[in-house]
Amino acid sequence: MEIEIFELERRQSLWENVVKLNLTESGIHPYTLQELLQEDEVSDLSNLRLGYGQTNGSIELREAISNLYPPSDLNNIMVTNGSAEANFISVWSTLERDDELILMLPNYMQIWGLARSFGIKVVPLYLKEELNWQPDISDLENLVTAKTKMIAVCNPNNPTGSVLTETAIAEIVRVAKNNDLWIHSDEVYRGAELDEVEGPSFWGRHEKVVIACGLSKAYALPGLRIGWLIGPKPFIEKAWAYSDYTSITTNVISNRVATLVLEPSLRARILTRNRNYLKENVKIIEAWVNKHSNIFSFIPPKAGGVAFIKYDSSILTLNSKEFTSRLRDEKSVLIVGGDCFGMEHFIRIGIGSERDYLNEGLDLITEFLAEFTSVS
């Protein structure tokens, strides 16, 4: 089996700890344990025995997760090492070589590369900019064949920050039901809505729905490496068997912290703090785009920690990889090119950082633009 390079992760891994300013982060400024927990709760962690945890996640954590997805119980839940492992296990345990997978694009491209390495045909379903980054359901209907087995979506979407409307969700579910297809919904940004209204989930709408989620994005806790799958009990039982061949278990400290995080009052405090970061920073990015409206345009995100910005290639005459590489080399600012999401002449900028950090990065991009256009 051969795998293709995961361009987004490779570029970030190579450069994010080398550049002066890293604006590729797609989450929100992370917490420390002292900011997150009470003093006695932090102290209690030091008394945990560092043995193997329950391999599908602690009972307490699975119960806390199931409370977020009625109707479900702890047997509908499997805890994973981040949402990346959740995505991996869902695809690996459900699809076979020569199956077809319809994948929403633009998207975080893990499933794209992973499925193709398994010999699965991946068929793009493009969100439409002219529809405010919503899908055209007639496109979806036309993509379904006898070999189609799954529709994979990311909602709220990375990188556009769009949230599927209730109508779009209902139509995707209708197509899946009519064709007996699985829906895999990556909902890792659910809870990071700028209007403070938690968006809809696909859970409970179809017998063959699997949700992947975790604490890395909306909760600003990527270092815990806690993700989860929610699905029908037979699916979860099978996925658990597959996880015995991957990481086996998550760590006991992260399970304990995650359980505390999902307690309703602390969860609400975390999501409020994180949304405040996003609401403040989206104003900054909007003002910056408007300042450079001769080059840039975008649809402001409704959720999540990123802005997906289109540039005029007749003025900025670089493809997105060249643009981001030169910006990195000349200004030591790291952003992500749209080519990492299957979309050329776009850039993705993280908006979950501290305000001064974001402003400093945007100022350096402005310097780069001025120097480039004067030379060009």
User: The domain that contains 346 carries what CATH number?
Assistant: 3.90.1150.10
Beta pairing partners, 186? 154, 212
> Considering the domain boundaries, does residue 373 fall inside one?
no
Q: What is the pLDDT of residues 131-184, one digit of tens each?
A: 999 999 999 999 999 999 999 999 999 999 999 999 999 999 999 999 999 999
- Residue 1: the pLDDT is 80
- Report how many domains make up the chain: 2
Domain boundary pick from 266, 288, 314: 266
As to burial, measured by CB atoms within 10 angstroms (0-12 exposed, 13-18 middle, 19+ buried), residue 329 is exposed
Per-residue tens of pLDDT for the chain, all 376 residues: 889 999 999 999 999 999 999 999 999 999 999 999 999 999 999 999 999 999 999 999 999 999 999 999 999 999 999 999 999 999 999 999 999 999 999 999 999 999 999 999 999 999 999 999 999 999 999 999 999 999 999 999 999 999 999 999 999 999 999 999 999 999 999 999 999 999 999 999 999 999 999 999 999 999 999 999 999 999 999 999 999 999 999 999 999 999 999 999 999 999 999 999 999 999 999 999 999 999 999 999 999 999 999 999 999 999 999 999 999 999 999 999 999 998 999 999 999 999 999 999 999 999 999 998 876 5
Claim to verify: residue 119 and residue 104 sit in the same structural domain:
yes
Residues 69 and 218 occupy one common structural domain: yes
Among candidates 186, 165, 159, which has minimal Cα distance to 305? 159
**Domain final position from 217, 247, 266:** 266
Asked whether residue 336 falls in the same domain as residue 236, the answer is: no
- 270: tokens are 């975390």
175 and 79 share one domain = yes
In the listed set 266, 286, 320, which residue is the last one of a domain according to the structure? Answer: 266
CA angle 28, 164, 271 (to 5 degrees): 30
β-strand 306-311 against 346-350: which pairing, if any? Answer: antiparallel
CA dihedral over 366, 370, 373, 376, signed as positive or negative: negative
Does residue 139 sit in the same domain as residue 200?
Answer: yes
Token output for 124: 């793009």
CA atoms within 13 A on the CB side of 100: 12
- The Cα 299–Cα 306 span in angstroms is 11
83 and 206 assigned to the same domain: yes
Separation of alpha carbons 30 and 274, rounded Å: 9
Residue 259 sits in the same domain as residue 292: no
Quick one: 202 and 279 in the same domain? Answer: no
Do 157 and 246 reside in the same domain of the chain?
Answer: yes
Residues 68 and 210 in one domain: yes
Q: Tell which residue, 163, 170, 158, has the closest CA to residue 217.
A: 158
| Shared domain check, 257 and 279 | no
> Residue 2: its pLDDT value, please?
86
State how far the Cα of 68 lies from the Cα of 63, in Å rounded to an integer: 9
Q: Is residue 72 part of a domain?
A: yes
pTM of the model: 0.96
> Exposure string (b/e) for 269-293, b if CB count within 10 Å is 16 or more?
ebbeebbebbeebbeebeebbeebe
Q: Provide the domain limits for residue 312.
A: 7-31+267-368
